[in-house]
Amino acid sequence: MPEVVVRRLAVYLRILREADLSDNRFVSSAELGEWAGVTPAQVRKDLAMFGEFGKQGVGYQGRNLRDELARILNTDETVAVAIIGMGELGAALARYIQRRHAGNREYPFRAVALFDVDPAKVGVSVEGVAIDHLDALPERVREQKVKLAVVSVPAAAAQAVTDRAVAAGVRAILDFAPVKLRVPPHVRVHYADVSLELHQLAFYL
């Protein structure tokens, strides 16, 4: 499945989650495309890759489409997330995720495990979740069946913690460290690299 399609599906889902979907609100590919900034044909093609969700002449039933997309993206149930590295960024991410989950039951992500190596941080709670020592990662990841991890450690440590997370069963990683991670083919990595984004934007100045 092309990565761009998955990205757009996530956009459609967010739009539908935010939209006010009264019981029988139908949404057309034209509307959804307008909101997402893509063509109606694009919307229909993207959705058609996963099934026939619409009714000719009417459009897509909003709530149904939202639920189908959540199912496709595996966010119809709560997704357990581990955050590795409780520096300022990691702690900010942990609080962000927990608060969104607490504030809106539809928000699927929940930080169930937090890790650091600093003894001063281990044991401290962040939004009700205790920070564990990195050495406890394999055990915690296995017992909580964590499949998705956020890496927010210094660049020099990123590959090593990634290796440990992957060995423990993690299948997808969001990496904030400015390092290209080497992982086995069954593991997916996305990069959230602030400096790279700033560099790209600087081109247009």
Stretch of 113-121, 129-137, 157-165, 189-197 lying at the interface with a second copy (CB under 8 A): 189-197
Question: Which of 104, 52, 101, 59 has its CA nearest to residue 80?
Answer: 101
Q: Which is nearer to a second copy, 57 or 103 (CB)?
A: 103
Kindly state the smallest distance separating residue 176's Cβ from DNA, in Å: 24
Binding flag, residue 78, a second copy (CB under 8 A): no
Q: Is residue 48 a contact residue for a second copy (CB under 8 A)?
A: no
The strand order across the sheet containing 54-55 reads: 26-27, 59-61, 54-55
Instruction: Look at residue 56 and give the partner it binds from DNA, a second copy, none, a contact being a CB closer than 5 to 8 Å depending on partner kind.
Output: DNA
Following CA atoms 78, 98, 17, 192 in sequence, which dihedral angle do they give, to the nearest 10 degrees? -100
CB contact at 8 A, 44 and 29 = yes
Does residue 197 belong to the site contacting a second copy (CB under 8 A)? Answer: yes
Helix 62-72, helix 3-18: angle, nearest 10: 140
- Cα-Cα-Cα-Cα dihedral sign, residues 149, 81, 117, 198: positive
Comparison of 40 and 138: residue with beta carbon closer to DNA: 40
Q: Which residues bind a second copy (CB under 8 A)?
A: 1, 3, 6-7, 9-11, 13-14, 37, 72-75, 79, 81, 87-89, 91-93, 95-97, 100, 107-109, 147-148, 171-174, 178, 180, 188, 190, 192, 194-205
